[in-house]
Structure 1
């Protein structure tokens, strides 16, 4: 007999226990004696046949087979009973072998064989067997209909359905499920609505359609059906709806639905699939307590060793990895490592990376023991790319590059990870080199890679390079990506080409109009507002904020752009209006907003108001730093020295080694003539070991970046540069004195 899965034990009739015990310990002689003792009874064959069915249903399939072999007499019902037992246990090959050995067959036998062939994927053989059937009933038709639907031959299934002389609810449900599983929801819904009109729809029908909508991503249509179900939903229906929410990212709704299920009058008990949906929802929401309760429930109810596929085990590894509870995840992983697939390894590696333990992730990566037949090259690249990204995030660029060079296969996502990682680590030239390599290797540029490069261009003001990247986006097509277009707007704005930024911004508007509606997000608007603000075009920036409200809701970033615009031109009253707008709309006023207002008040000479605003509960070190900065540039009223001292004291109280605060305080003292105090501050910097990084600026000119650090005279044109600087300074001084 082929190896078959043995299910968990259940209650056996007392009169069957002696026979079952003999068969379980393979004492066939004793078992035959038990049969001989009852052989003279008229209903002996029927009794033995019933025992075969009971043994198989309780999970004792080997004992059922042994009983069949020992029976001195059998009838057709006996053969059919064992055939059904094999099918119930999933032993398709054994079922087909038995069918071939049957001395006689009836419609029940043929129907069971049809089911076996369908499960084995032998649809042509099933069809040939069905065509050879002289006697057919609704069960035979349903078996063939189900086989065609599951194989994806929906047209053949529909023809079979239309040809059926008689149909029952199972016939309708088989075709509905076939359509729903393949995403043909219009056809599934049409059949379902017809069943509802006829009053024949049952809980299976409703569940099939709900699951189909959820699988197709139309979860709210599924939920509308779920709420209007005429029969009470069973645990399968609840699970289908929960799964629809969980797999489509509606984690909160999935958890709420689970809680609703637990409060039903029937007190439905969750099954393994229910728990699987729940733990993925908990992982998505970051609900460790509820996730642990789900794990405890699985342990108490014997679901922790959840069959050969181990889906619950994999789910718990994923959940604990998402929570960052890597000791728990590792315990389950180590206990189940022989059944862990590539998804489990990826979950563990990603979990260690998330909690900042890249060395553990690397050890796991080096120890991967998944069968190479299960670990496709796509999965391997995903794992490899995660580890490469982790090294970039940790700042270990050299190791990230070494690991990337060892990759046996690379895809566009792997190249994007390298390019983005180099940009994050300020290796801009290397990032462009990697981008060129990826193009030479034949990979089309991904939107995220181009966005990272555009960010790098903006940070070093290399407009000509940014324009080349822009041209590439137009040529290769990903320019419709909102993230990429936002990066283009930011690149032009940071590089000083506000008109270029405006042009891209307005091109988005034209593209949106062509698609029948606006699709610019808040980031798009905020980037343009901030670009205008930084270049002193305050009125245009504020007008854009008003226009924006016709498409999207302003957020904290929008208001920061508006405040920056007000700051650049000293519009204090408008800034106060912006703060009131934020309070009225419930937009949190963050530390960066406070710092902007403080800077504006300080520049306007309103130090008392600025100090009061910096001292509010929501402000932080940024606001006090801004106040200190305005005291440095204030033009001698005397008040700024005292305010600057207090601001510096507040900054250094929060951040004792803040180099910029020490230097700013020195400047405040020096401007007021308090040179002795300035010297004391510099001595204090020495005692603390505080050193300020030299200021640095750069400019791109004719394909080269010229960088200038404070006090650095290494540039070959230093004399000419300082001569021009002195000339400009003199002209500015004459204009201000005039």
Structure 2
């Protein structure tokens, strides 16, 4: 109800509604409400029961009218000011609070510590620290509450140095003082200072730690991170009997997790009587960050079956882990659960869904979620663009980038990595260069090392080495390993031996133990007939004990993933797989298959090269897929990632001839009917 108060005798000026009290005299007897809807307030005002009237107005959230009523009280007393200031604080009504303060000054009322502290609290919590400091400086006497209010206000307002300055000047301190300043240290990334203050606090008899103090100290240990200090504080917590509080348990859970002591974190989690969504999210997150994804996923499944509803932080964390580990099945379960509980399409959990589907190669689902978002954020746009680029849909990636620009969303450097990658794999050299130059000239962003690596890859694949070298020489930062690796890869394609040597030399300086550089350079030498140089590279690898780790390929059948390496015989069906591959190789040669051995190390005999190729990890995976699902082969599709290198997939068309299998790249999935069985590997 709105109370537009107070129509009085006609000759009174409208200035009666302002802070100018000089024209006010004793108010007439009659108070009339404009709307006439609350006779009770009329009656209270006419009976001069202003405190009761103000209480009612404040309860009805009519703060402005309550403050206006203040100007018609001849001599307001402290409880009226206190009530008004308290409601100004609760509603964060700074302007009304200033009006009350102005009335206090103009009315001649002398505020004691109680009202002054109310003013301090109101100004501090409304964010007006300058006004709070003025009140503090004008106070004739101050108590602990005055000092604590100012310190807390400065901490909350991001002015920690001023808070610390006041803390150091305090004539005495209590638990609140110590807790506020320790918490301030943690909030402002000063964990060592927080722990030092915590140690000092223990020496003060008048300052006893409470659950908030120890939680802040535990958080400081986590921020360093210092497991030893965290355990010391944990012991202190137990000695003080604070180990039954859920706030303390949550801080300990977070500390042990961040300090890498996952088992102790789980022990704390299991002992917690009341687990809230923050506790669940923290424990799940610790598992995932520590690389223990199966335990993290298992705990999340447990959460889904509990009465606790995950929040967007929980969903986003697990979905990002699903994206990192290609766990699309779990991602789909989470998506279904989110729909059941009613997730907010505006939340960043929706963006995490787009990211998960994009990274798992399910572009259609990513697009479906994206299109259901009322206002897609930059993360969603970028995930969709990068997802299309990584899954071979280069034209669509660039199409969505243009839509992003039309939407008014500003791209960032990650967005441009996806755009440049799309141009690279589509062979759009000039278009890629145009986008590269627009990063700075059109969008006002700085080029990053990733941008340069993408463009060098673009130019090197196209054999435009002069432009690539020129760009490298103009770079404002030192080229990184990704850039040199891109250049070396281009040199391998085009046989640029001289530039390959320079690129490899730079890579050796950055990563002297990386076998990929040695092998690529050795193959380039061998292709050029430089056998002595190739032998030197192989010898250098042997002398330094550098061994190439075998490549890994996997195939997913009925939601079970099987992994293979070159010549792998660890699988339970290895004998059957190898026998099948031997027979398959014979049959493929009968229909015209000739193994391409150009990119196998050149000092290996031809027969050995062919054998190495026969037992390549991708071939083992596909063979296992065929013998595991032998019926109706004509309706099966084997998905070949677009980035499988040439020497391992030249046999695919011949397998298709023999079995009428359909080998497709991920960008071709739109045409596959839902009743076809799909074998994934890569």
Q: Find the partner of 1:344 among 193, 200, 213.
A: 213
Mark the CA change 1:272 to 1:475 in structure 2 (over 3 Å): closer, same or farther.
Answer: closer
Matches of 2:381 and 2:555, distance apart in 1: 27
Matches of 2:533 and 2:42, distance apart in 1: 97
Query: What SS does the corresponding residue of 1:444 show, helix, strand or coil?
Result: coil
Identify the residue that residue 165 of structure 1 maps to in structure 2: 47
Identify the residue that residue 565 of structure 1 maps to in structure 2: 422
Identify the residue that residue 600 of structure 1 maps to in structure 2: 458
Identify the residue that residue 246 of structure 2 maps to in structure 1: 378
Identify the residue that residue 63 of structure 1 maps to in structure 2: none
Q: Find the partner of 1:278 among 130, 134, 154.
A: 154
Matches of 1:200 and 1:564, distance apart in 2: 75
Q: Once the two structures are superposed, what CA deviation does each residue of 1:88-121 show, in whole Å capped at 9, x if it has no partner? A: xxxxxxxxxxxxxxxxxxxxxxxxxxxxxxxxxx
Matches of 2:137 and 2:438, distance apart in 1: 49
CA contact (8 A) 1:652 1:661 kept: yes
Identify the residue that residue 231 of structure 2 maps to in structure 1: 362
Matches of 2:561 and 2:164, distance apart in 1: 58
CA contact (8 A) 2:453 2:486 kept: no
Matches of 1:232 and 1:575, distance apart in 2: 68
Per the TM alignment, residue 404 of structure 1 is displaced from its structure 2 partner at its CA by 3.4
CA contact (8 A) 2:388 2:396 kept: yes
More deviation in 715-724 or 194-203? 194-203
Equivalent runs, 1:105-124 vs 2, <5 Å: none
Per the TM alignment, residue 426 of structure 1 is displaced from its structure 2 partner at its CA by 3.0
Mark the CA change 1:658 to 1:348 in structure 2 (over 3 Å): closer, same or farther.
Answer: farther
CA contact (8 A) 2:491 2:499 kept: no
Matches of 2:81 and 2:439, distance apart in 1: 47
Matches of 1:709 and 1:206, distance apart in 2: 79
Matches of 1:730 and 1:194, distance apart in 2: 90
Q: Once the two structures are superposed, what CA deviation does each residue of 1:118-150 show, in whole Å capped at 9, x if it has no partner? A: xxxxxxxxxxxxxxxxxxxxxxxxxxxxxxxxx
Matches of 2:648 and 2:519, distance apart in 1: 27
CA contact (8 A) 2:287 2:295 kept: yes
Per the TM alignment, residue 460 of structure 1 is displaced from its structure 2 partner at its CA by 3.8
Identify the residue that residue 26 of structure 1 maps to in structure 2: none
Per the TM alignment, residue 502 of structure 1 is displaced from its structure 2 partner at its CA by 0.6
Mark the CA change 1:693 to 1:324 in structure 2 (over 3 Å): closer, same or farther.
Answer: farther
CA contact (8 A) 2:227 2:256 kept: no
Mark the CA change 1:677 to 1:212 in structure 2 (over 3 Å): closer, same or farther.
Answer: farther
Matches of 1:663 and 1:175, distance apart in 2: 83
Q: Once the two structures are superposed, what CA deviation does each residue of 1:292-313 show, in whole Å capped at 9, x if it has no partner? A: 55424333342xx334xx3221
Query: What SS does the corresponding residue of 1:587 show, helix, strand or coil?
Result: coil
Per the TM alignment, residue 732 of structure 1 is displaced from its structure 2 partner at its CA by 6.6
Identify the residue that residue 554 of structure 1 maps to in structure 2: 411
Q: Find the partner of 1:222 among 85, 94, 100.
A: 94
1:325 aligned onto 2:183? no
Equivalent runs, 1:571-650 vs 2, <5 Å: 571-583=428-440, 584-622=442-480, 624-632=481-489, 634=491, 637-639=494-496, 641-650=497-506
Per the TM alignment, residue 188 of structure 1 is displaced from its structure 2 partner at its CA by 1.0
CA contact (8 A) 1:362 1:387 kept: no
Identify the residue that residue 188 of structure 1 maps to in structure 2: 63
Larger helix fraction of residues: 1
Q: Once the two structures are superposed, what CA deviation does each residue of 1:210-263 show, in whole Å capped at 9, x if it has no partner? A: 8756644x6xx6379869996799896566334333xxxxxxxx7xx5499579
Per the TM alignment, residue 535 of structure 1 is displaced from its structure 2 partner at its CA by 1.7
Mark the CA change 1:557 to 1:316 in structure 2 (over 3 Å): closer, same or farther.
Answer: same
Identify the residue that residue 531 of structure 1 maps to in structure 2: 387
Mark the CA change 1:260 to 1:556 in structure 2 (over 3 Å): closer, same or farther.
Answer: farther
CA contact (8 A) 1:420 1:452 kept: yes
* Unmatched segments (≥5 aa) in structure 1: 1-155, 246-253, 283-289, 513-517
Matches of 1:546 and 1:386, distance apart in 2: 42
Query: What SS does the corresponding residue of 2:67 show, helix, strand or coil?
Result: helix
Mark the CA change 1:380 to 1:654 in structure 2 (over 3 Å): closer, same or farther.
Answer: same
CA contact (8 A) 1:317 1:333 kept: no
Matches of 1:591 and 1:689, distance apart in 2: 31
Matches of 1:686 and 1:341, distance apart in 2: 62
CA contact (8 A) 2:88 2:97 kept: no
Equivalent runs, 1:42-191 vs 2, <5 Å: 162=44, 165-166=47-48, 179=59, 186-191=61-66
Matches of 2:514 and 2:95, distance apart in 1: 55
Matches of 1:204 and 1:586, distance apart in 2: 57
Matches of 2:430 and 2:309, distance apart in 1: 50
Matches of 1:642 and 1:463, distance apart in 2: 44
CA contact (8 A) 1:611 1:627 kept: no
Query: What SS does the corresponding residue of 1:554 show, helix, strand or coil?
Result: coil
CA contact (8 A) 1:384 1:407 kept: no
* Unmatched segments (≥5 aa) in structure 2: 1-37, 106-115, 582-617, 624-646, 657-682
Per the TM alignment, residue 194 of structure 1 is displaced from its structure 2 partner at its CA by 5.2
Matches of 1:379 and 1:200, distance apart in 2: 46
Mark the CA change 1:545 to 1:638 in structure 2 (over 3 Å): closer, same or farther.
Answer: closer
Q: Once the two structures are superposed, what CA deviation does each residue of 1:21-72 show, in whole Å capped at 9, x if it has no partner? A: xxxxxxxxxxxxxxxxxxxxxxxxxxxxxxxxxxxxxxxxxxxxxxxxxxxx
CA contact (8 A) 2:421 2:454 kept: yes
Q: Find the partner of 2:619 among 718, 722, 736.
A: 722
Query: What SS does the corresponding residue of 2:324 show, helix, strand or coil?
Result: helix
Per the TM alignment, residue 501 of structure 1 is displaced from its structure 2 partner at its CA by 0.9
Mark the CA change 1:364 to 1:331 in structure 2 (over 3 Å): closer, same or farther.
Answer: closer
Q: Given the two structures, how large is their TM-score scaled by the length of structure 1?
A: 0.62
Per the TM alignment, residue 704 of structure 1 is displaced from its structure 2 partner at its CA by 0.2
1:492 aligned onto 2:357? yes
CA contact (8 A) 1:530 1:541 kept: yes
Mark the CA change 1:406 to 1:472 in structure 2 (over 3 Å): closer, same or farther.
Answer: same
Mark the CA change 1:167 to 1:400 in structure 2 (over 3 Å): closer, same or farther.
Answer: closer
